[in-house]
Amino acid sequence: MNKIMIPEPLIPVEYTGTPEQKKTIEYGRYLVVRKDGKTHLETFNGTGWAYNNNAIKYFYIPRIS
């Protein structure tokens, strides 16, 4: 019998950009929501978001890759 893999639910986290929060986010790609409401994948590089650091409102955990 084949088992169906059910993905983990994504949990939204508000991005504040504080140094304390940045220390807790692992390097990788995340689904993010920008302040204008658009969603897309974004890379967190360990110090901030690669392209739209000031535009990110929420990110979802776990990371995508």
Whether residue 1 lies inside any domain: the answer is no
pTM score, two decimals? 0.82
Whether residue 6 lies inside any domain: the answer is no
- Residue 42: which domain range? 11-61
Whether residue 23 lies inside any domain: the answer is yes
- 1 pLDDT exceeds 80? no
Task: Answer yes or no: are the C-beta atoms of 33 and 55 closer than 8 Å.
Answer: no
Residues 3-62 pLDDT 10s: 777 777 889 999 999 999 999 999 999 999 999 999 999 999 989 998 878 899 999 998
Whether residue 19 lies inside any domain: the answer is yes
Between 39 and 65, residue with greater pLDDT: 39
